[in-house]
Structure 1
Amino acid sequence: MSMDHLLPLLALMGAASYFQTVTGFGLGMIVMGAASGLDLAPVASVAMVVSLVTLANSAVALPGKLHHVDWRAVGAATLGILPSVVAGVLLLDYLGSATSGMLQLLLGAVVLYGGLSAALRPAPLRRRSGDRSFFVSGVFGGLLSGMFGVSGPPLIFQFYRQPLSLVEIRCALILVFTATSVTRTLFSAWQGQLGADIWQQAALAVPVVALATVAARRFPPPISAVATRRVAFGVLVAIGGYLMLPALLRLAG
């Protein structure tokens, strides 16, 4: 990879790591979306690098914070994610491009509606949802990841609607996405996809990610809990539009 592409990619990973440490999500979605749009690197290689640097982000973000984790919620969501990722990949192969385009449009519309409605009413639920609800959010997150490479929306919506503190939400989401990254990394290694170039890019990115994560822990943005929830739901709106646009273009063509 040339320096003209490498330096922007590293800067992007640093910014996304800061955002993820503050909100609990965003590293994969921001880097994948921007790298694809700017044509910085092949999507497949960026996805593998992101999986590796996500581990670095969590290794710096979570120490001293694990007592804030709702382990039952995280465990239920993770149990839903892991098998449904494979199911999403198989479902995409079975449906074909035409049907999957319609499904992507529908999913994008649902995410967009959920993000808009939650942003207008950012107050959390009065009572914590049951463990089954977290499991279902994990299932839908895994399906989205397997089919379209975007696992965040159902999990973000689920956790940010809970009557939990922001630090509890952040830690839970980081831990859930770390479990997903570990699974994806092991699967990529088993398929022999982690070549020397991937390790080199990850080695360069890890210090940037670690520094950005430390900066986010020490110097978080001075915004309220309600504003942070609105930012999270605003990102969901953007993801919904991101899912809908290519589907609409394919259907129109």
Structure 2
Amino acid sequence: MGPETLIPFIAIIAFATYVQTVTGFALGMIVMGAVTAFELAPIAFTSVVISAVVLINGVVAIKGSFHELDLKRVAITCVGIFPALLAGLILLEYLSDSFNNMLQLLLGITIFTGGLLIMLRPEPLEKPSPDAVFVVSGVAAGFLAGMFSMAGPPLVYLFYRQPFELKTIRLCLLCIFLISSAGRIIMVGFQGGLSVDMLTFSLICIPMVMFFTWIGKRYPPPLSTTNMRRFAFLLLILIGLSLMIGAL
């Protein structure tokens, strides 16, 4: 990977890391969408890098705040994630060989729909959703995580509806993304899908990810949570549209 690819790729990851740290979501969708739209790297390569980045981001972001997690909901959601994660990986391996345009179109639709879904911002529920809802959401998130390393849309929509503190919601999302990313890396490794280039680039990104995660925790933007979310939604919708147009 030459400097003309490496530098913009790292810049995209830096920006997405900061956004995820202050909102609890969007890293995978921003990185996958932007990298694919600019044709910087294949989807399979990018998804492994995203998993590594999300893993480091989650560890740094959750450090010191573990007691504020809703561990029950995190565990229940992860029950649904792992079987679907494997199914998504198998489908990605099949599609990435011969259906690049179809894969890009599916990615674009997913990001666009995810942006719209999260933007709905429904009113919080009076009481937490049943456990089965978290499992089903985990299945949907696991499939997207397996395909594109971006479990965000179904989880963000569900957790932002719960009558939890905003910080608890953000930390739960970061923790689930961390766990699913670790599981994805292990599964890809067993499939023999990890290359030296993937691991090298992921290692290069670690110091930068740790730095921008710290920046996000220490210096959040001078925007309200609502406006920050709106910015992320608009960005995702634009990325999704560009991918769909490119695929067609």
TM-score normalised by the chain length of structure 1: 0.80
The answer for the alignment partner of 2:157 in structure 1 is 157
Q: Matches of 1:59 and 1:177 in 2, distance apart?
A: 10
Conserved? CA contact 1:78–1:176, under 8 Å? yes
Conserved? CA contact 2:25–2:174, under 8 Å? yes
Q: Matches of 1:66 and 1:168 in 2, distance apart?
A: 10
The answer for the alignment partner of 1:117 in structure 2 is 120
- Shift in alpha-carbon separation, 1:235–1:128, aligned structure 2, 3 A: farther
**Structure 2 unaligned regions, length at least 5:** none
- Shift in alpha-carbon separation, 1:149–1:179, aligned structure 2, 3 A: closer
Aligned to 2:223, what secondary structure does the other structure show? coil
Aligned counterparts, 1:1-253, within 5 A? 1-88=1-88, 111=114, 114-118=117-121, 121=122, 123-147=123-147, 150-228=150-228, 230-231=230-231, 249=248
> Counterpart amino acid of 1:114?
L
Aligned to 2:120, what secondary structure does the other structure show? helix
Q: Matches of 1:41 and 1:106 in 2, distance apart?
A: 19
Q: Once the 2 structures are TM-superposed, how far is the Cα of residue 138 of structure 1 from its aligned partner?
A: 0.7
Q: Matches of 1:32 and 1:185 in 2, distance apart?
A: 16
Conserved? CA contact 1:111–1:239, under 8 Å? no
Bigger Cα displacement from structure 2, 146-155 vs 22-31: 146-155
Conserved? CA contact 1:56–1:209, under 8 Å? yes
Structure of larger gyration radius: 1
Q: Matches of 2:8 and 2:110 in 1, distance apart?
A: 31
**Structure 1 unaligned regions, length at least 5:** none
Conserved? CA contact 1:85–1:145, under 8 Å? yes
- Shift in alpha-carbon separation, 1:68–1:34, aligned structure 2, 3 A: same
Q: Matches of 2:129 and 2:228 in 1, distance apart?
A: 20
Q: Matches of 2:165 and 2:241 in 1, distance apart?
A: 28
| CA RMSD in angstroms, aligned pairs only | 3.1
> Counterpart amino acid of 2:117?
G
Give CA deviations for 1:18-62 in whole Å, capped at 9, x if unaligned: 111111112221111111111112222221122112221112111
Q: Once the 2 structures are TM-superposed, how far is the Cα of residue 131 of structure 1 from its aligned partner?
A: 2.0
Conserved? CA contact 1:153–1:236, under 8 Å? no
TM-score normalised by the chain length of structure 2: 0.82
Q: Matches of 1:66 and 1:229 in 2, distance apart?
A: 24
Q: How many residues align?
A: 241
- Shift in alpha-carbon separation, 1:229–1:204, aligned structure 2, 3 A: closer
Q: Matches of 1:144 and 1:169 in 2, distance apart?
A: 20
Q: Once the 2 structures are TM-superposed, how far is the Cα of residue 165 of structure 1 from its aligned partner?
A: 2.0
- Shift in alpha-carbon separation, 1:108–1:206, aligned structure 2, 3 A: closer
